[in-house]
Amino acid sequence: MRPADQSSVARSEQAPADLSSSSEQESAVEAQLSAESASLETAPFQKQSLPTEEPAVTEIPELEEDRVEASVAEAPVEESQAGELRLDDELDDEPAPKPKAKSKAKPEKPADDEPFESFGGGSLAGELPIPRTKLLSVIAAIVLGLDLLTKVAAVAFLEQAAPIKLFGGVLYLSFVRNPGAAFGLAEGMTWVLALIALGVVGFILWISRNLRSLGWAIGLGGVLGGALGNLFDRIFRTPGPMRGHVVDFLSLLDPYGRVWPVFNVADMAIVCGGGLIVYMALRQHDYDGTVHKKKVSV
């Protein structure tokens, strides 16, 4: 055959082959498209039916967690121990302080005119003693009550009786009416003595506002009670107001007062209270509780 015929035959054979291949390609494309469309239609149903899987979590073994926590907890402890070691080293380098010798505390001496008294202050040094007005009133009331009771008994049992001997003649009960002062002094001056007694009572009541000394309270209480007892006799007993005679009934060593004048309970209280007041004054103790110390010049 000629070459031209051969090429035409080859072309005729190649044409049906190309057509078949193109048809196959088209069918493949259509099949692919139909598959894609089918997959799109069934995709929601498949998504709902498929189970959801949780993401996997990597777990650290418990041993490793314990090691991490232990390392974190031990870190500050090691630092603190190191700090303590450094502090101990610094303290070791410093010299130890020498112990101080214990000095005995010396008692402080009270200052001059300090409101404190050894007898009757009843308070610590430097503190103001407590008021003694109530104590003065109680002592005065006791003295006055005893004086009035004993005088009533003396008038009732001794006025018309003979002297009574007591303690082997040391003391006698002998009734006497005294127009004078204590122990038979200043006879015939009853009204003057009454005025003096009133002045003494007023003065004691005035200073009692600041009375803080125990000794002064006892002494002034005795004087006040005795003065009131004898003043009662001078005002209310015979022969008349401000002229009354004081009842005495105690005598020492003699029944008629020839060794020592006859006296009563009020007289004893006045003498004892006055003596205590003189003692307190000599000791530089004031009625308000202050103590005046004598300054010795060197």
Report the catalytic residues.
248, 267
Which residues does residue 246 pair with via DSSP β-bridges, in sequence order? 178
CB 259 within 8 A of CB 174: no
Apex CA 120: angle with CA 119 and CA 126, to 5°?
90
Give the HSE-up count for residue 236: Cα atoms under 13 Å, Cβ half-sphere. 10
User: CA 147 to CA 232: how far, in whole Å?
Assistant: 10
Distances in whole angstroms, Cα of residue 113 to Cα of each of 124, 214, 295: 15, 17, 11
| Residue among 124, 131, 278, 281 at smallest CA distance from 217 | 131
260: Cβ contacts below 8 Å, ≥ 6 apart: 183, 251, 252, 253, 254
Cα separation of 267 and 180, whole Å? 12
Question: SS in 3 state form for 45-74?
Answer: HHHHHCCCCCCCCCCCCHHHHHHHHHHHHH
Q: Do 78 and 70 meet the contact criterion of CB atoms below 8 Å apart? A: no
Q: E strands of 59-103, at which residues?
A: none
Asked if 265 and 150 count as a contact pair (C-beta separation under 8 A), the reply is yes
Using DSSP, state whether 56 is helix, strand or coil.
Answer: coil
| Torsion-angle region of 126 (φ positive above 0: left; ψ -120 to 50: alpha; else: beta) | left
Using the 8-state DSSP alphabet, how is residue 139 labeled?
A: H
Q: How many C-beta neighbours within 10 Å does residue 119 have? A: 14
